[in-house]
A = this chain, B = another copy of it.
Amino acid sequence: MKIRVINPNASAAMAQMLGQACQRVKAATTALSVIHLPGSAPSIEGAADGARAAFHLLDAVAVAEREGVQGLVIACFDDTGLDAARELANGPVLGIGEAAMHAASMLSVRYSILTSLPRSIHIIERNQRSYGLDRRCAGIHAADIPVLELERDPAHYPRLVELGRALLEADRSECLVLGCAGMSQWAAALQRDLGVPVVDGVQVALKWVEALVTLGLGTSKALSYALPRVKQG
């Protein structure tokens, strides 16, 4: 089973980190590749970065289709370019944002999201409303650490614990969703320290894509996600 995780920013280091986390949980039969998009921004901070990432993502999805990849994960919590990617793919395509939110809504009545930057909140909110899961979300909070810092400096961890505890209390929340791929590596530690499920979308998306491929379920090619028409300018 060929699965590919696409980190839609330009950080090879983050792709490597995601690859390590995914290797630990993937099925034995999964041939996993994790890539990044060199032409994209070093991190995705807002809608303009997202628009650039989505553009480069299109090529990556087309390549994956040609290479016979059967399922895709888009490893940015903004679910950057998700609809566009689905138009080009035949297998399942999951964003880590949607995967995490759906999972959290099945493990708890109310979950909270901790993302990195305030400017991402409205993007997550808009996605969440599109998925319908805003009804189950008790709050979206920004740790206010630039994305690249999270990846580079483990000293931010205690601040995450403190923030997590405070926002669960304030939101009367039962589950924490990590709102940034760069936080993946701390999921297990946070779950232990906070005492509630802590959901990392990267791992959930990978396992659920494996599940959907196993069951023969892919992206519907009827109407909304039909393959684009070939046009002449």
Interface residues of A (CB under 8 A from B): 10-11, 25, 27, 41-43, 45-52, 54-55, 57-58, 81, 83-84, 86-88, 92, 94, 98-99, 102-103, 105-110, 118-119, 121-123, 126, 129-136, 146, 148, 168, 172-175, 188, 191, 195-197, 199-200, 203-204, 207-208, 210-212, 214-226, 228-229, 231-233
List the B side residues contacting A55 at CB < 8 Å: 51-52, 54-55
A50-B84, A211-B211 given. 12 additional CB < 8 A pairs? Answer: A48-B58, A48-B84, A48-B87, A48-B228, A51-B51, A52-B58, A118-B172, A131-B136, A168-B222, A174-B224, A196-B221, A208-B211
A215 near B130: Cβ-Cβ < 8 Å = no
Smallest CB separation, A118 vs chain B (Å): 6
Smallest CB separation, A176 vs chain B (Å): 10
Determine the distance from Cα of A184 to Cα of B123 in the docked complex, in whole angstroms: 31
List the B side residues contacting A215 at CB < 8 Å: 25, 200, 203-204, 207
Determine the distance from Cα of A25 to Cα of B210 in the docked complex, in whole angstroms: 12
Smallest CB separation, A36 vs chain B (Å): 11
List the B side residues contacting A129 at CB < 8 Å: 129-130, 135
Smallest CB separation, A13 vs chain B (Å): 11
Smallest CB separation, A152 vs chain B (Å): 13
Determine the distance from Cα of A178 to Cα of B154 in the docked complex, in whole angstroms: 45
Q: Per DSSP, are chain A's interface residues mostly helix, strand or loop, or mixed? A: helix
Smallest CB separation, A150 vs chain B (Å): 14
Smallest CB separation, A34 vs chain B (Å): 17
Determine the distance from Cα of A163 to Cα of B227 in the docked complex, in whole angstroms: 26
B103 near A122: Cβ-Cβ < 8 Å = no
Could you pull out 6 A-B pairs where Cβ atoms are within 8 angstroms? Answer: A83-B123, A105-B132, A108-B224, A110-B223, A168-B222, A207-B211
Determine the distance from Cα of A226 to Cα of B210 in the docked complex, in whole angstroms: 31
List the B side residues contacting A110 at CB < 8 Å: 122, 223-224
Determine the distance from Cα of A136 to Cα of B168 in the docked complex, in whole angstroms: 25
